[in-house]
């Protein structure tokens, strides 16, 4: 019988919030937990834009290694940071109820005119391409770091605004005056969800993790991530996917953008809530609606680099 679980996490305040959330959930089962902080490669390099790394797992690799060498028993992640292809012998059996999946823009002043030539900060290629497709006259600059450091960089620089995930600000109870929810922006697959990775052969532990997982959230984000996998996407590819269950129906919206932001293929559809093929159907639909051409262009660009 399991008496203690070592929880691995990154060192940022948001990562620690997520780890402590998982700790509280597990402790309701009468199991002692210890949080172990591990520095990730993505935390060390705060300058390079995420999409320039060219590899997946920039925030998860160190935690994967700690799991595989038994330094920790589980690792807690922002699910959107987890590669669609997990490291060998690792699996996910727990996803907590999703918080907001929305992106928001935090602005320097209240009355900003979006018709002017604004400068907006983000390190996300997904956010960059969607923003420039809507506002082609704007300039995007790279912004890396944890939530608090990104807010400080916004304050210090002469940028007009910066884009954040709403869930991150909410979890840290950060209230900023001039913010706007970007209802038109399609989020990253699994944005707003927290997931736990563990070793695949730990049957007792994995059964325990399944008992505290949110089934509806797990189903939705699994469909989003399967779509991402079919699109062969990662942090360096501007792909968006969002699914939610309402009235026993699964609503699914997805998009893929060209790197120059000029072309975006967007599709949406509604399925039965238990449909395990929704991701494949959305994938086929987006290919027919301009996505295949964009993916070919993206592949050519990747081959050049």
In the chain, the largest separation of any two C-alpha atoms, in whole Å, equals: 62
Angle, to 10 degrees, between the axis of helix 215-230 and the axis of helix 278-286?
Answer: 40
- Which residue in the list 43, 81, 103, 160 is annotated as catalytic? 81
Query: Is-catalytic flag, 81?
Result: yes
Determine the Cα–Cα distance for residues 19 and 285; give it in Å rounded to an integer: 37
267 touches 286 (CB < 8 A): yes
223 touches 279 (CB < 8 A): yes
Query: 191: number of CA atoms within 13 Å, CB side?
Result: 26
Residues 6+ apart with CB under 8 A from 140: 119, 120, 121, 122, 128, 131, 132
Residues 6+ apart with CB under 8 A from 288: none
Which residues are part of the catalytic machinery? 81
């Amino acid at each position: 019988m399991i008496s203690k679980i070592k929880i691995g996490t990154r060192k940022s305040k948001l990562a620690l919030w997520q780890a402590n959330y998982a700790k509280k959930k597990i402790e309701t089962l009468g199991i002692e937990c210890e949080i172990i902080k591990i520095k990730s490669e993505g935390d060390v390099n705060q300058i390079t834009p995420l999409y320039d790394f060219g590899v997946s797992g920039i925030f998860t690799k160190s935690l994967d290694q700690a799991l595989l060498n038994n330094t920790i028993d589980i690792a807690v992640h922002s699910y959107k940071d987890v590669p669609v292809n997990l490291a060998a012998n690792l699996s996910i059996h727990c996803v907590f109820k999703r918080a907001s999946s929305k992106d928001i823009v935090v602005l320097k002043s209240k009355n900003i005119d979006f018709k002017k030539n604004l400068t907006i900060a983000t390190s996300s290629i997904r956010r960059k391409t969607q923003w420039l497709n809507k506002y082609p006259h704007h300039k995007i600059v790279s912004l890396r770091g944890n939530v608090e450091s990104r807010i400080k960089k916004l304050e210090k620089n002469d940028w007009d605004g910066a884009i954040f995930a709403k869930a991150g600000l909410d979890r840290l109870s950060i209230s900023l005056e001039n913010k706007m929810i970007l209802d038109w922006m399609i989020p990253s697959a699994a944005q707003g969800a927290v997931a736990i990775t563990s070793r695949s052969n730990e049957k007792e532990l994995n059964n325990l993790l399944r008992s505290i997982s949110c089934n509806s959230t797990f189903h939705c984000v699994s469909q989003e991530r399967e779509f991402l996998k079919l699109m062969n996407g990662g942090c360096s590819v501007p792909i968006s996917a969002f699914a939610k269950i309402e009235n026993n129906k699964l609503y699914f919206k997805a998009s893929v953008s060209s790197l120059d932001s000029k072309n975006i293929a967007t599709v949406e559809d509604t399925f039965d809530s238990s449909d395990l093929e929704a991701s494949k159907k959305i994938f086929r639909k987006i290919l027919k609606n301009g996505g295949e051409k964009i993916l070919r262009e993206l592949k050519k660009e990747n081959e050049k680099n």
